[in-house]
Each structure stands twice: as C-alpha cells, then as structure tokens.
Amino acid sequence: MSIHTPKIDKKVTLTMISKMKGVEPITMVTAYDALFAQLFDGEVEMILVGDSLNMSFLGKEDTLSATMDQMIYHTQAVCNGAKLPLIVLDMPFGSYTNPELAVKNATRCYHETNAQAVKIEGGKERAHIVEALTQNSIAVLGHIGLMPQFLRSDGGYKIRGKDAEDIASLVEDAKALEKAGVFAIVVEGVKKEAAKAITDAVSIPTIGIGAGNVTDGQVLVWSDMFGFFEAFKPKFVKQYMDGAKQIRKGLESYRNEVKGREFPSEDYTY
C-alpha cells in the first residue's frame, strides 16, 4: 500500500540525508536536463545526473564513453531546473583513475556546477580515491554491487551478492567507503540479502537500485521509470507511466490533424 507524502519544501543538504537513515526512506531519481529537473523539484530528496545519460540521452550502447564535459553540461542544466534536491554529478569512466585526476575533475564539478556531490563507482580498491576527494572537501556518493562502468572488463552486467563470500566482499567494500568518507552508497544489482547485510553494516544511508526494499533509499533512472527507454527493461524497473506510448499517441494525433488540415484551427491562429 502506498502512502501519501508531502512535497519537499526546503533545500536538501548532506546532513539531512545522513539523518534519514533508519528514519525515512530516501527518494532519488536521475535527471539530465532542466525541463525534467524542474518537474522533479520538490518531489524527491536527491537527483543524480547519471552517466546513464550516455545511453538514454545520447543513444550509446553503454556509459563508458561519457566525458567530464558532457557531465558538467548536463549537471549545469539540472541545477538550473531543480533548486531543492541534493544534486549529484556522476563521475564518468576514466575521470578518477588516480587521486590527482579525481580531485582535478571533481573540482571542476564544484567550480562549474552547483552540484553538492560527485558519485564514483568502486569498492575497497577505490577507497584511496574517495579519501583524496573527501580530504579536499568534495562530498562523495559511493556506488557498489553491479557497476555499469565495469561492463566491458567484467564481460557483462552481473548481479552480485549471490553467495556468502561475495556478500562479505560487498560488506567490506561498503565499510571501506564509509571509512574513506562517502556520505551514502548506491547499491546496485545485488540480491536482497546482500543489500540488507550492507545496509546493516554501515551507519551511512544506502540507496538501492535493483537491491530490494531493504536499503535506506531507492534510485531509478527517470527514462526507465516513466517508460521512455524501450531498448530493454531490467526486472527491477517499475514503470510508473507508459511515456513512449503516450508520446507516440500524441504524435499520431498531431500527424493526423496536420495532414487533415485540422490543426491549426482558428483557436490556434492569430
């Protein structure tokens, strides 16, 4: 049963997100432009300018060719559209391969956009990168489990946490990231038991995607959740509207009316 919750009426801060763990589930969606960001303003606590934009916005097959310039441009647009949510810029593949490069690129995020944090993918092996960022006053959202930037090196999208050994490894990842200073962790594509073990092991919020209902919050890609992205639909995606069908229906009406000289009628004519 869904409950009715009020809109969010103040700017969401990192402190507010931290305090929500164990108190109230956190809502997060992706956005890539000002138009949609404006629609999401006041509806969710956090917006992720995800590198998934490389697929749903640019039409590429994966996220790997997204660039820092691209992420900055779209984050500027999202910040122009949404004033209340905590906005996170997703650091693209190759932009944080060592601490110096990570700090240089993440500094661009603070210089050139109003985003409050960056997200990087990776567990314990990336803890030193997170540490470099947080020690330089850059807020970081971690991302563990199924990590789309590892698609080619892993040979596909692989669901994680299927056995005790992998769950223990994911818990170690989460703890290492917490120690390095992330304010929250995205947990993607893991078995529910793994998501629960991770969430219980850390004192910072976990934001799940394809991780069941046991995390401290949820994130979905907007074009998936509203039925605009049709190439494939992962099991975890719930479609809250059939966007693509609605657009086609609208366009069919437009085409019929233009061809039939019904549009523009006198109502739409100077």
Distance between CA atoms of residues 100 and 164, nearest Å: 35
Q: Does 51 bind ligand KIV (CB under 6 A)?
A: yes
Whether the Cβ atoms of residue 198 and residue 226 lie closer than 8 Å to each other: no
Measured from the CB of residue 261, what is the shortest distance to ligand KIV in angstroms? 43
Q: Does 115 bind ligand KIV (CB under 6 A)?
A: no
- Residue identified by tokens 């769950």 is 167
Q: Which residues, including other chains, have CB under 8 Å from residue 173's CB and lie 6 or more apart?
A: 123, 124, 144
Among 47, 115, 221, 225, binds ligand KIV (CB under 6 A): 221
Closer residue to ligand KIV (CB): 65 or 263: 65
Six-digit token string for 43: 């509806």
Measured from the CB of residue 145, what is the shortest distance to ligand KIV in angstroms? 10
Measured from the CB of residue 252, what is the shortest distance to ligand KIV in angstroms? 30
Q: Does 138 bind ligand KIV (CB under 6 A)?
A: no
Q: Does 186 bind ligand KIV (CB under 6 A)?
A: yes
- Residue identified by tokens 């947990």 is 187
Say how many residues touch ligand KIV, by CB under 6 A.
Answer: 11
Hey, what amino acid is at 76? Q
By DSSP bridging, strand 117-119 and strand 46-49 are unpaired
Among 31, 47, 52, 132, binds ligand KIV (CB under 6 A): 52
Q: Does 41 bind ligand KIV (CB under 6 A)?
A: no
Rg of the chain over Cα atoms, rounded to whole angstroms, equals 20
Measured from the CB of residue 75, what is the shortest distance to ligand KIV in angstroms? 12
Measured from the CB of residue 89, what is the shortest distance to ligand KIV in angstroms? 11
Residues marked active site are found at 188
Closer residue to ligand KIV (CB): 118 or 209: 209
Task: Tell me whether residue 108 is exposed, middle or buried, using C-beta atoms within 10 angstroms of its C-beta: 0 to 12, 13 to 18, 19 or more.
Answer: middle
Distance between CA atoms of residues 237 and 210, nearest Å: 8
Measured from the CB of residue 210, what is the shortest distance to ligand KIV in angstroms? 9
Whether the Cβ atoms of residue 101 and residue 128 lie closer than 8 Å to each other: no
Give Cα 77 to chain centroid, integer Å: 15
Closer residue to ligand KIV (CB): 192 or 258: 192
Q: Does 75 bind ligand KIV (CB under 6 A)?
A: no
Closer residue to ligand KIV (CB): 50 or 217: 50
User: CA dist 106 to 30, 101, 197, Å?
Assistant: 19, 8, 30
Distance between CA atoms of residues 103 and 222, nearest Å: 29
* Closest-approach residue to ligand KIV (CB): 50
Q: Does 219 bind ligand KIV (CB under 6 A)?
A: yes
Binding residues for ligand KIV, per CB under 6 A?
Answer: 30, 48, 50-52, 90, 186, 188, 209, 219, 221
